[in-house]
Amino acid sequence: MIPRIKKILYTTDLTKNSAYAFRYAVNSAQKHDAEIHILHVIEPIPYQIQSILSPYMEPDEIQKRDEAKKYLAQRIEARIEEFARRELQKDHETLKRIASVQVVMGNPAEEILKKMDELKADILILGMHGRDIIRHTFLGSVSERILHRIRKPVYIIPIPEEDTDISMEEI
């Protein structure tokens, strides 16, 4: 028996295609009477660069950088929430299905897998980069790393051939 879909983890990298993939998350939530959890992962500055910069930074500069990261995460979270409200402005019932919007720092594949486990999500929905699948010999490093380790269904949504009317960039 196929497990019932109750929780959907939709991940966004704030690109047009991830915004398009949001519609698949919404459609799946409607069809399965499920809730949607939205996740965005901010990649940290690579360790090599941090180790080069750290000796030259004063403690107050480090604190300011940490505050800037928190502010950035809050702004991105607000942007995603506004995008969802705008996209679902005529469908308040589906808007209620959005159970959480979270912005975290870390390695995207690791954080997505961790959030899948934490939420006990039933499926993962994410957008694929690029218009021409043939040009790409692999799905993308994040998608590929996730697919090698996940034990749940994953929907990787390719960008459509035609232009879409959806974008997170307008917020």
Domain ranges, ordered by start, for the chain: 7-157
Q: pLDDT per residue over 9-65, tens digit each?
A: 999 988 887 888 999 999 999 999 999 999 999 988 766 666 676 666 666 676 677
CB atoms within 10 A of CB 157: 18
Q: pLDDT per residue over 106-143, tens digit each?
A: 999 999 999 999 999 999 999 876 544 444 444 568 88
Among 84-93, 140-149, 151-160, the range of highest mean pLDDT:
84-93
CB atoms within 10 A of CB 84: 22
- Backbone dihedral angles phi then psi of residue 157, each to the nearest 5 degrees: -95, 115
The CATH fold of domain 7-157: Rossmann fold (3.40.50)
Model confidence at 102, pLDDT cuts 50, 70, 90, reads very high
Q: Which of 97, 104, 112 is nearest to 144 (CA)?
A: 112
Q: Supply the Cα-derived Rg of the chain in whole angstroms.
A: 17
Q: pLDDT per residue over 134-150, tens digit each?
A: 444 445 688 888 999 99
Tell me the whole-structure pTM to 2 decimals: 0.83
Q: Which residue has the higher pLDDT, 84 or 59?
A: 84
Distances (CA, A) of 101 to 4, 50, 64, 69: 22, 28, 25, 17
- Backbone dihedral angles phi then psi of residue 101, each to the nearest 5 degrees: -130, 120
